Amino acid sequence: MKIPTLLSLFAACFVAGSANIEENVGQFFSSGHTNNWAVLVCTSRFWFNYRHVANTLSVYRSVKRLGIPDSHIVLMLADDMACNHRNPKPATVFSHKNMELNVYGDDVEVDYRGYEVTVENFLRVLTGRLPPSTPRSKRLLSDDRSNILIYLTGHGGNGFLKFQDSEEISNVELADAFEQMWQKRRYNELLFIIDTCQGASMYERFYSPNLMALASSQVGEDSLSHQPDLAIGVHLMDRYTFYLLEFLEDIHPASKANMNDLFKVCPKSQCVSTPGHRTDLFLRDPGSVLITDFFGSVRKVEITTETISLTDPIKQVEEIAVHGEQEKETYSYVDQLPVSEIIHQKPKQKDWHPPDGFILGLWTLILLVFFKSYGAKHLKHIF
């Protein structure tokens, strides 16, 4: 009596186990993306905005650690803090006082730097309307199966974000840019994080599908910075990104944490401002979206089950080598410097130019004064 029940229990376990495996397979493909991109932008310059560069670099570090390669990250930093002459510790950007974590690292690849970070370039990267001479590392080559993470930080206000202290991007332009990306199917899902004052105003105008947005503060609130470092002399990070970095440090590529955990980062007690999020345009339930869907790059993998049997012998490629040798040309450098002239120092013959404007003006002035003072009728006395 007991044995059949035990057997049936075992059978049920097996069935459940195999169903679980099938579910895993299904979940593998449920997110619908095959590659990940990240666009990380810091929009403010000057030394006292150190914290914005540190914000962006800490997100960059997390994203790289979780697997997104540099070829899929577009990093835009408006100013150089690591090599700023006011930095007492050159080649470092710290995110925590007591200099615990250097987010600048050894292998930072900045794609847009300094004055290249403009509203125009940012919108060009998003919509893909770059001049043909732009190198591959400066392009966002996403397709309809890419999940993109966009992180903006800097100074902002109600409905705009300030770039480089001289121009602004408005929330309408940003929403239109995302709509153009959707029209051209340049993303599968997009996560938009913004850490500025009144950040929630920037995602108010979104209207394209599959967008999820997080902001560090609501309209009317300011985002505050975390703590200053007395040795460096500036505030090192903003509160929201500081706690975000703390949260992300616990995530590893195989982690199953989901977006609901991300929404809980930095409650009002820690952040002083109220972080907000917007998920109404997103088709999936945020509880089923993994953090690594956007911050990491977990590849979908399929086992190759079929092979093709090839039996032809390999053709030797020697004939091409023979021809190549016959056609080899000898190359030589063109003279880089006019060595003969430098050595012999022959003076160059200068061509005669008519007198310059200044000389002409000077002579006209002198003649005028001369004739004014002496009168024209005295001319015959002179000549």
Partner 1 sequence: IIIGVPLWWRTTETYRAWLPVSQIQELANLELQLSADVEVVFARGTVTPEQQKKIPLTLSQDDEHVVDEDTSLRYRYETRYRTATIMEEDALNQPTAAEADLSLHMLSESPCGSLVVYVVPESTSLLPEDVEVYIGQRRTALLRIGTQMRVGRTLDQLLDHLEPRIKKLLQLMSFSHTDITAALSDRVRLSPGNKESIADSMRAFKSSPGYEITFSLLNPDPKSHRLHWDIEGAVQTFIQPLLTKLEPLANFSIDSQILYYAMLGVNPRFDNSHNAYTLNADSLAHVINPVEARLGSNAASSNPVLNFLLYVPDANHSPLYIQDRKKQQVPSNAFHSPRWGGIMVYNVNSFYGPDVAFPVDININMAKVMGVFLAQLRLLLGVQSSTPPPGFLVAPCGSSGLADWELDRLMWSRSVENIATATTTITSLAQLLDQIGNIVINDNIAQQVSSAVTSLQLAVAELESGNLGFALQYSKEAILASERAFFDPSLLHLLYFPDDQKFAIYIPLFLPMCVPILLSLLKIASEVRQRRRDKQTKTD
3-state secondary structure of 118: coil
Least Å distance, CB 101 to partner 1, is 21
Residue 123 interacts with partner 1 (CB under 8 A): yes or no: yes
**Short-list 286, 118, 146, 119, CA closest to 213:** 286
Residue 86 interacts with partner 1 (CB under 8 A): yes or no: no
> Which positions from 30 through 59 interact with partner 1, judged by CB under 8 A?
32, 34-35
The correct pick among 116, 176, 222, 261 for binding partner 1 (CB under 8 A) is: 176
The correct pick among 114, 300, 367, 374 for binding partner 1 (CB under 8 A) is: 300
Using alpha carbons only, what angle is made at residue 334 by residues 329 and 335, rounded to the nearest 5 degrees?
150
Residue 286 interacts with partner 1 (CB under 8 A): yes or no: no
Residue burial 45-79, b: 16+ Cβ < 10 Å; e: rest: beeebbbbbbbbbbbbbbbbbbbbeeebbbbbbbb
User: How far, CA to CA in Å, does 121 sit from each of 128, 131, 139, 162, 181?
Assistant: 10, 11, 10, 14, 15
The correct pick among 98, 309, 336, 340 for binding partner 1 (CB under 8 A) is: 309
The correct pick among 100, 106, 280, 306 for binding partner 1 (CB under 8 A) is: 306
The correct pick among 17, 253, 267, 355 for binding partner 1 (CB under 8 A) is: 253
Sign of CA dihedral 289, 294, 297, 302: positive
Instruction: Report, in angstroms and rounded to the nearest whole number, the Rg of the chain calculated over CA atoms.
Output: 32
User: How far, CA to CA in Å, does 177 sit from each of 41, 211, 213, 348?
Assistant: 16, 12, 15, 58
155 is catalytic: yes
Residue 204 interacts with partner 1 (CB under 8 A): yes or no: no
Please provide residue 157's backbone torsions phi and psi, each rounded to the nearest 5 degrees. -145, -160
Candidates 42, 197, 266, 271; catalytic one: 197
197 is catalytic: yes
The correct pick among 305, 326, 345, 349 for binding partner 1 (CB under 8 A) is: 305
The footprint of partner 1 (CB under 8 A) covers: 21, 24-26, 29, 32, 34-35, 67-71, 119-120, 123-124, 127-131, 136, 139, 141, 143-145, 170, 172-173, 176, 180, 183-185, 253-254, 297-317
Please list the active-site residues. 155, 197
